[in-house]
Amino acid sequence: MSGTAGAGPEPAGPPGRTAPLLLILPALLAPLALWLAAASGRSFTLPLLATAAIYPVFAAFLLAGRPLAAATAAVLWAGSLSASIIAVTMADPARLAPVIVNGPAYRDEMISWVATGIGRESDPARFIPQHLLHLAAFILLALVSAGLLGLLLGAVLVGYMSFYVGVLASGPEPMHGALFGWPPYAVIRVVAYIVLGTVLARPLLGRLTRRTLPPIAARRWLGVAAALLLLDLVLKTLVAARWAAYLRPCLPGDAP
């Protein structure tokens, strides 16, 4: 790599012919990560394996100057991981309980909220501080690890949310629960985190690999992430209580 200040960046990463496969590879590996984690029975195995499935591809696309591909791969990975957890939990609601970090506690909290309409999910005074805490943790972790620990935290959050949705979908209205257990504002939040993490991963990743990453419109990316996070809060404030009522027919027979 030339030491000339004006020299162009030397991106490295997925060549054109392999990029489409790499784009979907983490999504294909996510169910395998879940299977291995379930077989191990250990609670933190899933986020570790799931992160291992996405990070090499995510970093390779960033190094190649393809942040949109990195973000797209992460969105597909998160969707596949969530769908896998929901499907397994629908079939056997108790199977993944020992494996999902915070899964049983979050399940109980959310099932109670769906049943009563009362809970942190529809109380802005309680959920906004929690969201800010999660956001601060994500930003810090993504910055100090070139995105690696941000994706790990994302795998934990997607894991316990999907576990709850799977339990909800194991009730009398499985398709209703599976398709709408994730409220729209939560989906928006996941996408916002991925957009944000794509920008935050770049500075340290470039230093660690001693590469000059191709420039991106970082302010635009951060603006999109901020807009999505704000939309998440506004939608959650406006519709969360109604969403609980909408999901109530899905409650399993043993729900409170």
pTM assigned to the model: 0.90
Cα within 13 Å of Cα(8), Cβ side: 5
| pLDDT value of residue 16 | 56
Spatial separation of the C-alpha atoms in residues 214 and 206, rounded to whole Å: 10
Give the C-alpha separation, 66 to 9, whole Å. 13
| Residue ranges covered by each domain of the chain | 19-250
Q: What is the pLDDT of residues 1-49, one digit of tens each?
A: 333 333 334 444 455 556 788 999 999 999 999 999 999 999 899 999 9
| Residues 227-241 pLDDT 10s | 999 999 999 999 999
Mean pLDDT confidence for 143-157: 97
Mean pLDDT, the chain, rounded, equals 91
Contacts of 107 (CB under 8 A, 6+ apart): 160, 163, 164, 167
Q: Could you count the other beta carbons within 10 Å of the beta carbon of residue 119?
A: 19
Per-residue pLDDT tens digits for 44-89: 999 999 999 999 999 999 999 999 999 999 999 999 999 999 999 9
Q: Is the pLDDT of residue 101 over 60?
A: yes
Check residue 254 and give its pLDDT: 62
Percent over 90 (pLDDT), the chain:
86
- Distance (Å, whole) CA 129 – CA 137: 12
The answer to whether 66 and 14 are in contact (CB under 8 A) is yes
Radius of gyration over alpha carbons of the chain, in Å? 19
How far apart, in Å, are the Cα atoms of 195 and each of 46, 58, 151, 210, 227?
23, 12, 11, 23, 11
Question: Could you please report the per-residue DSSP string of 204-229?
Answer: HHHHHHT--PPP--HHHHHHHHHHHH
- Write out the E strands in the chain: none
